[in-house]
Amino acid sequence: MSGAWDIATATSIGTGVAKTQINGGNNVTKPTQAVNLVEVVPYISSSGAMTVAQSLAVTLEIDSFSVDLLPKRIIVPPIQSGKGTIGNTVNPILEAYECNTGLQEGATSQFIISGQSQIAPTVATNLACALHYSTTPPIGQNISIINQMMKLYLQLPQLQQAIHLQ
């Protein structure tokens, strides 16, 4: 696996403004081979007909008890109007949010993904999220490995000299 996608299934976050766990109320478990959560792509849809003046503004939060990450809060691209005469009004453009979060290889780490309406809609909102994983470590970890290799390379003449002295 060099890259894989997983879906936190669409779940109704209701008509209120309370935070609700998506994926049917279940945590999302990462693939054991994955060492990087590359990005997430949240998306929303209305579960019924919206009024003309209604809009949907939703935030997505990713948290975990098994991965060292700060809770990530994302503003999901909004649905600006219920008029529905233009396709991108009701189906906003998907936007990927870069995470580059290092994960433990072989572990079965879990993510808690929740959504919250910022404006109470009259029709329930469905929220889902695609997660992109990779077996390539995050960029910062690659730089760290390169720096360690460079330090060892620079110490090589000293190590060779020490070996010859013995």
Q: Token match 């009024």: residue?
A: 51
Q: Averaged over 76-99, what is the pLDDT?
A: 70
pLDDT computed for residue 85 by the predictor: 47
More confident residue, 146 or 133: 133
CA 162 to the chain's CA centroid: 49
Place 68 in a pLDDT band, splitting at 50, 70 and 90. Answer: confident
Q: Averaged over 51-76, what is the pLDDT?
A: 85
Q: Is the pTM of this model over 0.85?
A: no
Please give the structure tokens belonging to residue 140: 């910062």
107 exposure class (CB count in 10 Å sphere: 0-12, 13-18, 19+)? middle
